[in-house]
Amino acid sequence: MSVELSPMILAIFLPLFGAIAAFIAPRAAWSIGLATLAATTGAVIWLARDVWAKGAVMLPLGGWGAPLGIDLRADGLSVAMLALTSAVGFLVSIAALDSLKDAARQRQYFWPLWLLLLTGMNGVYLSTDLFNLYVMIEVIALAAVGLTVLNGTRDALRAGLEYMYASILGALLFLMGVGFVYLHLGRLDFAGLAGAEVSGSLIAAMALMFVGLALKIALFPLHFWLPAAHANATAPASALLSGLVVKAALYIVLRLAQYMPFPSETLLTLVGLMGAGAVIWGGIQALRAERLKLLVAWSTVAQIGLIFVAFARAGEMGLTESWKAAALLILAHGVAKAAMFLAAGRIKDEIGHDVIRDLDRAPIRPTLAQFTFALAAISLIGLPPSLGFIGKWSLMEGAMAAGYWHWVAVTMAGTLLSVAYFSRVLTAFLRFDRVRAPVGEHQGWALADAAPLTLALAAIGLGLMAAPLLSFIEIGYPFGVAQ
Amino acid sequence: MTPDLIYGLCGVAVFGIGLVGALCAQDRLRRVLALKLCSVGAGFLLVVGAWRTPPATPDPVPHALVITGIVVMVSATAVALALIRRLQSLEADDER
Amino acid sequence: MTDAPLLPLFILLTSLLASPVLFALPERAARLRTAINLGMAGVKLALVAWLSLKVAQGVIYDLRFEVLPGLEFKLQADPLAILFIALSAVLWLITTVYSVGYLEHGPHRARFFGFFSLCVAATVGIAMSGNLFTFLLFYELLTLATYPLVIHRGNAEALRAGRIYLIYTLAGGLVLLLGTLGLWVLAGTTDFVPGGVLADVVAQNPRAAQALFVVLIGALGVKAALVPFHAWLPIAMVAPAPVSALLHAVAVVKAGAFGIMRVVYEVFGIETAQALGVTAPLAMLAAVTILYGSLRAITQDDIKKRLAYSTVSQVSYITLGVALASPIAAVGALAHLIHQGLMKITMFMAAGNLAEGLGVKRVSQMDGVGRAMPGTMLAFTLAALAMIGLPPLAGFVSKWYLAQGGLAAGQAWVIALLLGSSLLNAIYFLPMLHRAWFRDAAPEGAGAPGRPRIGWMLAAPPVTTAVLVLVAGGFANAPFSPLEWTRFIVAIEYQE
């Protein structure tokens, strides 16, 4: 039994060891953290090259092999998610260096928690069996709750506890589903799922797992915990939670849809309707939000809804293509939302508050952070040429071609709502007649703006690279192997 | 009714009780306990999956899964309790 | 095939790359900013001249790369694109000079010129878009780049106007997205091809094609200020004068009109559109807009609002010429794209000078301003007379061809329409001229004597464009005049 050094193993275990090291040596935590991230990013690049050259790669851990042992597998989609996680994570880490510089206690715990979170997410993207996924989402949940309550404020603790309940319950629902699957099939690996016949208990299992994941994703109407948790966390934590954490559970939904025979058209429509509800309700709440970070958090609820609309856009028959639209939107949202939360944090730091109504009274205008916020908003609204636009384009294209005009209408309504709520913020940036003191427009430029700005520019620029991105995601034909 | 079915239904019922508690309970501690019940119910179900009519030996895999699940839940409970304690001490400060 | 295949890209980049540099410059670096602005505008003008020569020689420029499977980002430099780019390059240079003078001591100049450059880049992109998808990208960019310019003053009134502007244009953009998707799904391509790409679709599914036409024209009609989508234009007048000038002459309304041209000529194809029976309603809509805009202009006392309603009316000449589906009318339409730009920018810059130099913002305050600012008012007068259609000025040339085209297409009502419109033009412009030249300034009115203080950077641009109005009309048959270039284009679009 030879131990082969594989980038997949590195991607999971580097952050794990990093987390432990950062916990043991809090003074060096930040350097350990950055080094670990750089190394993990290197491993992901290595893996990407492998996948690019050879197609999907498989690794039986310890040489046991499925169904008994644990397999790791990487295809285009999982590498894309890994790349999203490490790239966004790396930039958020750099931003965190600055934004946590005056908070020693937060800094001490940020790095171990974040590296643990990274372990869990990378584990999800490489797992090939349901139980492994369960363990990983629990790891993610614990680390994510830790990040939510990092700043120790009462609001953050309350929101974090609420998040904890939802997250654990979601994981347990998922576990229940896993139990049903095992009862029915006697195995939990994806390959075993792929060959299964549709049956009542399998549908029940699927439903349980989906509801559990929906709780973790905060899909309407199970979104109740998200706005408070994401809005009250400290800015880099919010960026990680909103940009990356919800994506892990979303990814599992995509995977399940790939390997488990999808029950029926009606259920898919139901999923789409939940998404549509999220788009509308999230939009309305964002319009009413009084604080900047709360608005951004509600926009996450709406955007998650849009991803599910993309998933359901062309019905059961269109699922073999629809997942790509959903994947594009997942990537777009991950990058843009991380940028937006970091920018919102910068604005709050510079101005001293984030009450939307009073943003235009501030004599200090952190121009670069505001610009970053605007760029991120462009991608989230889905204006060209951003990646968000390309995702929306694919969504509407598929829906239109399949004649599902209601999904087109939902998308357009969501776009208008997002324009409405983001312009509440953007116009405040450009208004000057309510300021009493002389305005220093160029105040508040800082190196800390570099990371969010890079993310926001990436969200815009990646749209023009959607064709290679799509062909990469399709490597390993995630939706072709089922049968 | 075979024993495995009885066990399985018990598991589902316990999970259901936990679910209701987790959703409806007001008290923070009660909600943690409710979640614990859920995990016990799910554990039941997995253990049932291991059942084989004797003389066949039970399937070991679910047992491994249940043990892992218990470990995970223990840590989750610890985190939840820590959060609750911290929140209570903050709120106690407020009232003073 | 060509010695500089990336030339269109460079033209786009002159203003696109200038933008972030201008944003980053500190507020006080005024000289450097002006140098970059003028330098880039000059470089672009030279590149455009080079490109025009090449295109006239028959060189084909075509740059593309795939954004989604089968869907391309595509830049092309066809004669129609050149027409629009040349207009934007010339007017960018002139407006930049004017803006530098206008904003000399104002706040937020870095931001202003950054977005100004971005706006010009978007216009160039719109002109050179080789398919509707690329057009959509730049069309939205234009919206985003102009919004901060419209609300530049940053007060409540500007923000209110900006909100209305944004609602109209983004809603229009969303509908355009719908139309582009529809075209992509129906035809499998969004390319602009002379003669159109929809002949098959029209044959099989005329209803869908008609719906597509309505959606696309409706979306573009928002920026082109076609009735009933015109309301944003007069409201957007709160913008600083150079912005209004640019919006009316080159950027926004022209982008809409230009888009209508592309859609009718190169998405549907003029014959297909005619067969589909959609050109006649479009012509009617344009006619209604022409009359409505002029009628509303008469009652406006605010100079810029009167000019804005006049734009609503005048831009629809372009749509009318396209919709008449006759090559001669098309010549008029295309020439008017240029001519209207030159005339309107002159008038807006002159109006800006009146406000800056004399504080005159209303028609009722214009008594005697001719004597106070003779150069500016001479330019204004020339442009106004051209608008009315006095030969041999530029406006006359467009109207002449439109009328001829109407006759050729068997639509004699066009003559009546043009006569009526000219009459209305005279009704709202002549009183302004009369006040300016033949009335004495009220003793303590805004137009009271006392040397107005405007620098050469404000005074020269309107005079320059006025001279161009004169030249474009008087030398309409010279090579490389707008009219000659227009004939070249029409030969392509009508595939003669």
| One-letter-per-residue 3-state SS of chain A | CCCCCCHHHHHHHHHHHHHHHHHHCHHHHHHHHHHHHHHHHHHHHHHHHHHHHHCCEEEEHHHCCCCCCCEEEECHHHHHHHHHHHHHHHHHHHHHHHHCCCCHHHHHHHHHHHHHHHHHHHHHHHECEHHHHHHHHHHHHHHHHHHHCCCCCHHHHHHHHHHHHHHHHHHHHHHHHHHHHHHHHCCCEHHHHHCCCCCHHHHHHHHHHHHHHHHHHCCCCCCCCHHHHHHHCCHHHHHHHHHHHHHHHHHHHHHHHHHCCCCCHHHHHHHHHHHHHHHHHHHHHHHHCCEHHHHHHHHHHHHHHHHHHHHHCCCCCCHHHHHHHHHHHHHHHHHHHHHHHHHHHHHHHHHCCCEHHHHHHCCECCHHHHHHHHHHHHHHHCCCCCHHHHHHHHHHHHHHHCCCHHHHHHHHHHHHHHHHHHHHHHHHHHCCCCCCCCCECCCCCCHHHHHHHHHHHHHHHHHHHHHHHHHHHCCCCCCCCCC
Does residue A471 sit within a domain?
Answer: yes
Report the helix count and the strand count for chain C, using DSSP H and E: 21, 2
Which percentage of chain A shows pLDDT scores above 70?
A: 94
Element at C10 (helix H, strand E)? helix C7-24
What sign does the dihedral C429-C340-C404-C313 (CA atoms) show? negative
Residue C73 exposure: Cα atoms within 13 Å on the Cβ side? 16
ipTM of the complex: 0.92
**For chain B, which chains pass the contact test of at least 3 CB pairs under 8 Å?**
A
Q: What residues make up the domain containing B69? A: 3-95
Q: Is C302 helix (H, G, I), strand (E, B) or coil?
A: strand
Does residue A259 sit within a domain?
Answer: no
CA-nearest residue to C183 within chain A is: A397
B50 has a chain A CB within 8 A of its CB? no
Lowest-confidence range among A459-463, B51-55, C313-317? B51-55
Q: How far is C155 from chain A (nearest CA, A)?
A: 5
C382 is written with which tokens?
């020339």
Q: How far is A172 from chain B (nearest CA, A)?
A: 6
Q: Which of residues 300-339 of A touch C (CB under 8 A)?
A: none
- C26, C66, C184 member nearest A397 (Cβ): C184
A154 is written with which tokens?
């009462």
User: Which candidate in B14, B65, B70 is best for mutational testing of the A interface (most A CBs within 10 A)?
Assistant: B65
Closest CA to A344 of A241, A430, A238, A271: A238
B27 has a chain A CB within 8 A of its CB? no
Rounded CA separation C425/C7 (Å) = 41
A464·C73 Cβ contact <8 A: yes
User: Residues of chain C whose pLDDT is less than 50?
Assistant: 1, 447-448
Q: What are phi and psi for residue C328, nearest 5 degrees?
A: -70, -40
The reported pLDDT for the residue numbered C447 is 47
A172·B15 Cβ contact <8 A: yes
Does residue A475 sit within a domain?
Answer: yes
Q: Is C362 helix (H, G, I), strand (E, B) or coil?
A: strand
Q: Which residue has the higher pLDDT, A304 or A197?
A: A304
Does residue A89 sit within a domain?
Answer: no
User: Which candidate in A431, A445, A449, A473 is best for mutational testing of the C interface (most C CBs within 10 A)?
Assistant: A431
A128 has a chain C CB within 8 A of its CB? no
CA-nearest residue to A184 within chain B is: B49
B66 has a chain A CB within 8 A of its CB? no
Q: CATH code at B81?
A: 1.10.287.3510
Q: Using a CB-CB distance cutoff of 8 angstroms, which residues of chain C are in contact with residue A371?
A: 23
Angle separating helix axes A130-148 and A246-259, nearest 10 degrees = 160
B28 within 8 A of B84, measured Cβ to Cβ? yes
B35·A68 Cβ contact <8 A: no
CA-nearest residue to C142 within chain A is: A384
Q: Do chains B and A touch (3 or more CB pairs under 8 A)?
A: yes
CA-nearest residue to C112 within chain A is: A430
Q: Looking at the 3D structure of chain A, how many domains does it have?
A: 1
Q: How far is A372 from chain C (nearest CA, A)?
A: 13
Q: Residue A3 above 60 pLDDT?
A: no
Residues of chain C that touch chain A, judged by Cβ-Cβ distance less than 8 Å: 23, 26-27, 65-69, 73, 107-108, 111, 136-137, 140-141, 144, 148, 151, 154-156, 159, 162-163, 166, 170-171, 173-174, 177-178, 181-182, 184-185
pLDDT tier for residue A481 given thresholds of 50, 70 and 90: very low
Q: Is C90 helix (H, G, I), strand (E, B) or coil?
A: helix
- C151, C170, C173 member nearest A430 (Cβ): C151
C164 within 8 A of A427, measured Cβ to Cβ? no
Q: How far is B56 from chain A (nearest CA, A)?
A: 15
The reported pLDDT for the residue numbered A2 is 46
Q: Using a CB-CB distance cutoff of 8 angstroms, which residues of chain B are in contact with residue A146?
A: 79
A157 is written with which tokens?
């603790």
C111 within 8 A of C151, measured Cβ to Cβ? no
Q: Looking at the 3D structure of chain B, how many domains does it have?
A: 1
A433 has a chain C CB within 8 A of its CB? yes
Q: How far is C111 from chain A (nearest CA, A)?
A: 10
**Cis peptide before A67, with omega less than 30 degrees from 0?**
yes
The reported pLDDT for the residue numbered C357 is 86
User: Which candidate in A432, A441, A453 is best for mutational testing of the C interface (most C CBs within 10 A)?
Assistant: A432
A439 has a chain C CB within 8 A of its CB? yes
Q: Is C278 helix (H, G, I), strand (E, B) or coil?
A: coil
Q: Residue A158 above 50 pLDDT?
A: yes
- pLDDT tens per residue across span C403-448: 999 998 888 899 999 999 999 999 999 999 999 998 887 665 554 4
Q: How far is B77 from chain A (nearest CA, A)?
A: 9
- B42, B75, B84 member nearest A175 (Cβ): B42
What sign does the dihedral A285-A287-A288-A293 (CA atoms) show? positive
B84·A161 Cβ contact <8 A: yes
C140 within 8 A of C219, measured Cβ to Cβ? no
Q: Using a CB-CB distance cutoff of 8 angstroms, which residues of chain A are in contact with residue C107?
A: 432, 439, 441
User: Which candidate in A393, A425, A474 is best for mutational testing of the C interface (most C CBs within 10 A)?
Assistant: A393
CA-nearest residue to A383 within chain C is: C140
Does residue A455 sit within a domain?
Answer: yes
Does residue A95 sit within a domain?
Answer: no
Rounded CA separation C351/C358 (Å) = 10
Q: How far is B83 from chain A (nearest CA, A)?
A: 7
Lowest-confidence range among A84-98, A331-345, C192-206? C192-206
Q: What are phi and psi for residue C74, nearest 5 degrees?
A: -135, 125
A415 has a chain C CB within 8 A of its CB? yes
Rounded CA separation C464/C481 (Å) = 16
The residue type at A213: L
Q: Which residue has the higher pLDDT, C335 or A105?
A: C335
Q: What residues make up the domain containing A337? A: 273-483
Q: Using a CB-CB distance cutoff of 8 angstroms, which residues of chain A are in contact with residue C66?
A: 467
The reported pLDDT for the residue numbered A482 is 39
Any bridge partners for residue A291, and if so which? A355
C154·A431 Cβ contact <8 A: yes
User: Which candidate in A147, A150, A168 is best for mutational testing of the B interface (most B CBs within 10 A)?
Assistant: A168
**For chain C, which chains pass the contact test of at least 3 CB pairs under 8 Å?**
A
Rounded CA separation C359/C256 (Å) = 32
The residue type at C202: V
B72·A152 Cβ contact <8 A: no
> DSSP code of C26?
-
For A6-44, b/e burial (b = at least 16 CB within 10 A) is: bbbbbbbebbbebbebbbeebeebbebbbebbebbbebb
User: Which candidate in B9, B83, B94 is best for mutational testing of the A interface (most A CBs within 10 A)?
Assistant: B83
- A394, A433, A442 member nearest C156 (Cβ): A433
- Domain residue extents for chain C: 278-496
Average pLDDT over residues A192-198: 79
B45·A172 Cβ contact <8 A: no
Q: How far is A286 from chain C (nearest CA, A)?
A: 18
